Amino acid sequence: MLAAVGQVGTIDYAIIAIYFVLTLGIGFWSARKSPESSRGFFLAEKSLPWWVVGLTMVAASISAEQMLGEVAYARDAGLVVSNWDLGVFPSLALMIFVFLPLYLRAGIATIPEYLERRYDKTVRLMFAVYTVFNNAFVALVMVMALGTKALEAFLGLPPVYGALALATVTGLYTVYGGMSSVAWTDTFQCILLLAGGLLVFAVGLSHVPGGWHGLLERMDHAQSGHLLRGLHDPFVPWPGLLVLMLSTNVWYCCTNQFYVQSCLGAKDQRHGRLGILLTAFLAPILTLCFAFPGYIANDLTRLGILLPLEDANTTYPLLVSRFLGPGFRGFLAAAVLGAIMSTVSSIVNATASVYTMDIYKRWQRPRASDAEMVRTGRLAGFATLLIATPLSQLVIDRQYIFTYSQNVWCVLAIPITLVFILGALWRRATSRAATATFLFVLPFVAVPFLFGNTTDNYLRFQLAAHSPVFVIHMFNFACLLLLAALAFMLITSLLTSAADPAAVTPYVWRPALCRPAEDLTPCPWYWSVGFWSIVAGFMFVTIYVIYR
């Protein structure tokens, strides 16, 4: 235990207590006007400005997965882990120019709604079930597991009690207040966690001999200072990077309800798109906050400044306890808690939205009233916490809890990505092909659990007891599966009857969708979506050219 109770003083506990009071206060204050309206509960009455949209998206994506999990993985894998922060631009560009215009034009409240309009109700149901399963059994489990690790490392709280504390406090304002509470508490928490992450980066780097250049030079000498890796890299081979950028990130940034829900609650399309661009510009800062502390810890360990650490998942608390004094430890503990709680709240609210709108109202109670839908949403949020909290205790002993979700997501995202991209860009994609693609990939979701392990990213297949063992990296396997599923959906679409063009056309992208009504009026350059998109693209290309 790195930062046990004895190392946390009264001032630290006071700061943590103030954080909890402020979070609950903001959560209940922001929910005071519209919690009983389904539109207010799930979409915050479409009132969110661009900066709240962007910070909410960042806060939803940053949790203990980054502040503990990504740091732990970065400690051993090197600069390639920054791809989780820097490899988002292709998917964010798709969201800005393709998916958000389609979603807002369709007036949807949940992402599965789009699939029914583009395909049919069966495809909508399958994606809704996929979403609820992922949120309750994968995403929230991983976040809660790392959250309990954080509470144990910072405060000495046993994992079971840590999980119960996270579920109880976050559930109070999320289940009650809905999207409005999530958005405004996440905005507060995002500012806090970015400040905490930058503080740890700056203080840690100040202890590195040679600073930035010394760190990168030693990483380069150790063959860990590159964003792009070879086919046999044990952490992220280049096919895995393709899967991350073109499949997992597209699913996460364009179709994942808990990530894009704040976009659906934006004032208008311009506010939504500028909010997404804000997340793009924050990506390099995120890698400084949540990948570089791992690189710094590895460098200081190799130089003998830090003692070797058995549990990689507690690398971040080690840096905090080693380099920060009283008061700052409480601030960082609050920042970690903020990261965890913001993601927990977003996942719970998104799951409640999808279950209520896409399963309960669509299939069970089509005539459900607003009050009944809000009540059902609260019960669904509570049930999600009830499922994930005990399951989180089953994965806390993994070497890299971070890879628990990544190895599942790289398979789970494949049919979702294909169904959405082909549906949005190709009129010939059919509902039968979409359904068949979901069913084709579904059995492979079990592969990481059946053939993977808790120590590395390799799958091991053996047909019989004495037959040779076939070993393949999980990400390389996912790349092959992505290509097979793409071919399967293309061929199946061509072999099945095409939908009525008049019914499909409104939900297929066309250039005119990129020019909403608010963009037709003249605006200053600093309010231009196109200008900032070019700047962001140039920024990411430059980073990859320099650190490839």
- pLDDT value for 16: 79
- pLDDT value for 366: 78
Distance CA 548, CA 536 (A): 18
pTM: 0.83
For residue 237, give both structure tokens: 């081979």
Vertex 528: Cα angle to 522 and 529 (nearest 5)? 130
| Spatial contact of 261 and 497, defined as CB atoms under 8 Å apart | no
Give φ, ψ of 472 to 5 degrees.
-145, 145
Low-confidence ranges of the chain (pLDDT < 70): 1-8, 23-24, 26-47, 63-65, 163, 166-167, 169-186, 338-339, 342, 395-401, 404, 454, 516-522
Of the candidates 233, 203, 72, 240, which has an alpha carbon nearest to the alpha carbon of residue 145? Answer: 72
Q: Give the tens place of pLDDT for each residue, 275-319.
A: 999 999 999 999 999 899 999 999 999 998 887 777 777 788 888
- pLDDT value for 138: 80
The sign of the torsion formed by the CA atoms of 62, 65, 71, 76 equals negative
- pLDDT value for 55: 82
Question: What is the SS3 assignment for 234?
Answer: coil
Positions of E strands within 310-423:
none
- pLDDT value for 296: 94
- pLDDT value for 516: 60
Q: Please give the domain boundaries of the chain with CATH numbers for all domains.
A: 7-517 (1.20.1730.10)
Helices (H) and strands (E) in the chain, counts: 27, 2
Of the candidates 31, 57, 60, which has an alpha carbon nearest to the alpha carbon of residue 44? Answer: 31
Give φ, ψ of 265 to 5 degrees.
-95, 10
For residue 401, give both structure tokens: 């809890």
Q: What residues contact 100, with CB distance under 8 A and at least 6 apart?
A: 260, 263, 269, 272, 273, 276
- pLDDT value for 165: 73
Q: Give the tens place of pLDDT for each residue, 79-108.
A: 999 999 999 999 999 999 999 989 888 888
Give φ, ψ of 460 to 5 degrees.
-130, 115
- pLDDT value for 422: 97
Burial class for 138, CB neighbours closer than 10 Å (0-12, 13-18, 19+):
buried
Question: What single-letter DSSP state applies at residue 254?
Answer: I
CA distances from 152 to 64, 160, 547 (A): 13, 10, 36
CA distances from 394 to 134, 390, 401, 454 (A): 16, 8, 11, 12
- pLDDT value for 146: 73
For residue 230, give both structure tokens: 């070879």
Chain centroid, CA 409 distance in Å: 10
- pLDDT value for 15: 82
